[in-house]
Structure 1
Amino acid sequence: MAHEEIDKVTGVATTGHEWDGIKELNNPLPRWWLWVFYATIVFAVGYVFVYPAVPLVSGYTTGLLGHSQRASALADAEAGKAARAEIGQGLAEASLDQIKADPKMLEFAMAQGKAAFGDNCAPCHGSGATGSRGYPNLQDDDWLWGGTLDDIHTTITVGIRSTSEDTRVNDMPRFGDDGLLDAKQIRDVAGFVLSLSGGSVQGADVAAGKEIFAENCTSCHGDDAKGSHELGAPNLTDHIWLYGGDEASVINTITHAHRGVMPTWGGKLDPVTIKSLAVYVHDLGGGT
């Protein structure tokens, strides 16, 4: 019989294993730990019989309870679809004002509109809808085609310079490219336009620019230069610029014009989604 060695420091017997002078103590596992371990074995055996567990050649054992997480997930998904369909039907039949007035429909529309915005609109307008150069900020109160619920709904539906027969269109003349104004006249009118919001253009004759503006620009922007929602003409008296409000940017815009395109979402998105988008955009803070 082998001699049992007792560790002098701990008083515990060793297992006889030694590595580089380090000896292994023969400390048994705590009894409570062993009982927990045995209980897990019993539980696992019971689980195999009660729930789906063992893979077979063409399937798996379904267990005594016949439970299926997939079936439960599908049932939950169908219940969610049914609930959304019920509310969605209400949105389809309700007017935009009725949606805004009904807390339940409004909550649904805002959630769906936010998701649709992230999927379809954020690439241009940004995830926060603050826009960028050439793409309008939807958080402010400056709207080219109007900021009412109906205006926003129409713009989303037909787009701007897009494929719909009813798309919104108002093309600013390319005053430089088409030879309508020479370089000096363009500089003068740019100086006048910037003067309306406290800016200036070096070497511009503002008085001459005012006359040029009256002859060429007021039909869209108005005598007061505050623009027109009906024509999609921007307000030139504020500090909000779609393509930049510095001297070079304004001269560039007058010379070449910018004819940005917004997609026609009607036909690409269902009517309920478009309504939800309109409500969401209107609620961002800039709706009127």
Structure 2
Amino acid sequence: MLAVETQGLAKRFGEVVAVDAVDLQVKEGTVHGLLGPNGAGKTTLLAMLFGLVRPDAGSITLLGRTQSHLGARNLGGVAGFVDGPRFYPYLSARRNLELLAALDGGSAHTRIDEAFEIAGLAERHTDKVRGYSLGMRQRLGIAASLLRDPKLLVLDEPTNGLDPAGVRDIRALIKNLTDSGRTVLLSSHNMTEVEQLCGEVTVMRAGRIVFHGTMDEMRAQAPAPSYLLHTSDNDQAVALAASRPQVLVDRGPDRALLVHARPADMDAYAIALGKSDIAIRGYAVRQTSLENLFFQLTEDQDAIPADQVEADLAEAVA
């Protein structure tokens, strides 16, 4: 079963094609990553899923229901946020959720305490939101989404701007939500985050899908990682690599060497350096293999300027 399916989804803002014939499939009960640089069309796509932006072409099916002109009124079982959650800062977190529950109706108000507990905010629910950190506001956004007891959570950059502790908390929360059977579709421009959370990933560039598949399939396509290497004799180190076709060495910044090699080949090269009396004085992973693939997929001179798309999207949502 698919929690999300789009076919030929497209959106244009004036002369700018923000989303271009996107076919997206998200399986139920998974964490699916929507990956791409700023301006790739991720937020516009999510806004169309929520009915906040009307597509110019294509269809959207959420939890087996094809979305219509009803937009947000046809979103039973779906919750989340686009472009960050927002609340009344002068009200308490509880009062904000009470207002949202009243708007949603039904039994939403009975889930307020549970939502605070799941989001890890039970001890701070009476605090005014203006005193919340960015990470707490992100968790409050997820708590607000849980009022609808959703089967599908759509989260736009849920860890954007957070410190490492905040990122860790949000990742743990998302994992707990999927362990309970929910589907999570999250957008990100962070390859490491997607790798740690997601089983499948869709990569966008300039409004188009350039990769769709499992993380294992992505790893299989990824090029070798790159390393920054400082040695006692760079000239000899370069000469030694010349006899190893699986190890590519270029001159890097600050008199370092930039080495491209698979981990096993890099290990063998490092051992060979030592045996040749060439000391390794510094060693660091510059880019993982998945990060290298991400940049290969998404670096495009024709990409949509991020600020242009964001301005057009804000106007459309308003």
TM (norm. structure 2) is 0.21
Higher helix residue share: 1
Higher strand residue share: 2
Give the structure with higher Rg (CA): 1
